[in-house]
A and B are shown apart, each in its own frame.
Chain A
């Protein structure tokens, strides 16, 4: 009886697995916009400003403002780094009182509650990284209505719910960087798998969708094998990556790590399986976590923008918005030591090209 049930379940699983094996699992269903294979920048159509505006904000020009930063979650390396950037910028500016607070897990409801509380407590500015672009919109709009300046970074909301969004790198840009790196390491016909956080995490889902589109366009013979979920959990990521290695054997030439947790864990799995050099790990990660693998040569390159810079830029942008120096329609903004940053897509500010860490430069970073 028991065994029959089990067998039936497994059978069911098999069938559903095959049925769904057509596309890449883990991507979202929004429109993709793959870049050209040779890297020619896409002709960016100038878009009008599509961000929102605070209702009757007080004149904050040059005055001391309180700013709260509510990232997706607190307690992970990545948002520690952005938080550090924000604190750095605040210290440099001198007239900002900034702090970071947020939920302990990437939970839309809790994030909304945090934002709501800070709106009530009367902050002047909000920095956020959205767990869900739509879910967060109502509370951000409420902040705008209260005259609070709202700037996003890392993970966007719907544009009208915030003023500006500091985009660390465009989705298609990241996708191209990742897929190109992988192709360079494993060749045009290699098989690879993806370890992501969850299928519902917007950025990851977006990247995977863009990667799929770009790979189809520019590296059509590369073979996507599988996408697995691993939360933001080190050990689970490690286990999942190890299982992938065991399952596909030589068929698996590379693993994409889609989060700053999954990438080092995948590298660890490759290391512990003694497959360094046989299986490439390409992914998004922070340099500190990757140093051991990069220095040992197990991982050649890690793609990431500098999250400290991202936080720094977000804080600078918020200050400019509060001061009124950044107005809708601007094409660039001054961001302290980062210099002039470009405005794209109407109301987004581009941090720059993604940074590629390798054996030579990784030692210089500490975050």
Chain B
């Protein structure tokens, strides 16, 4: 059987992590191709509902990443985001959503190598966890069978 290839969605801010991932590219650092980046202006814009939607639609893992504290292009968007993440993650944990599948990180525009490391580490850990069948089971309407494979 072929190795399980997890679907990973990355929600990143435009100014730090998106630029950091650009740097990974210009530095030609290779990383796993399972991740798809969605660009936001700021981590402050990332709606927690979108994270849930990603799981709904079949993501096996999620990366959320932005500027390091004090480095936010908008001064404090990431501080607001951090506070929300703390509460959201705790609520996920409480409702039994697997928080091991959501990786939060700070990746600056200068941390191309760190971006590759984050992606690789996430892909590795999600691969070990396997497909998020638990969520998928309830996500699709009953008539649709989840097919993985």
Do the two shown chains form a genuine complex with each other?
no
